[in-house]
Amino acid sequence: MKPYLLSLGAGLLVGVIYSLLNVRSPAPPTIALIGLLGILLGEQIVPLAKRLYAGEAVTAYLREDCAKHVMGRLPGDQDRNA
């Protein structure tokens, strides 16, 4: 819960700064969220390419490490130590 509150706080702070500077946010919320998804997926390209280049199987990586990074800890996730 703490990372979500920190993220919300950071967003609120940026919003206040934008308001004080009298500027608009750079993108509508839906477009910004799609951009963030692109960032998350883009971060996975280099590790995926390294595994492909090394001849390693990538399906386990996509299912485990990649999914956990992109999706975060989902509600009801029993594996709290990961």
* Dmax (CA) of the chain: 52
> What is the reported pTM?
0.50
CB contact set of 75 (below 8 Å; sequence gap of 6+): none
Half-sphere exposure of 12 (CA within 13 A, CB side): 6
Distance CA 61, CA 72 (A): 15
pLDDT digits (tens, 9 = 90+) for 12-41: 888 888 888 887 777 677 877 887 888 888
**How many other β-carbons are positioned within 10 Å of the β-carbon of residue 14?**
11
Confidence of residue 53 (pLDDT cuts 50, 70, 90): very high
d(CA 30, CA 22): 22
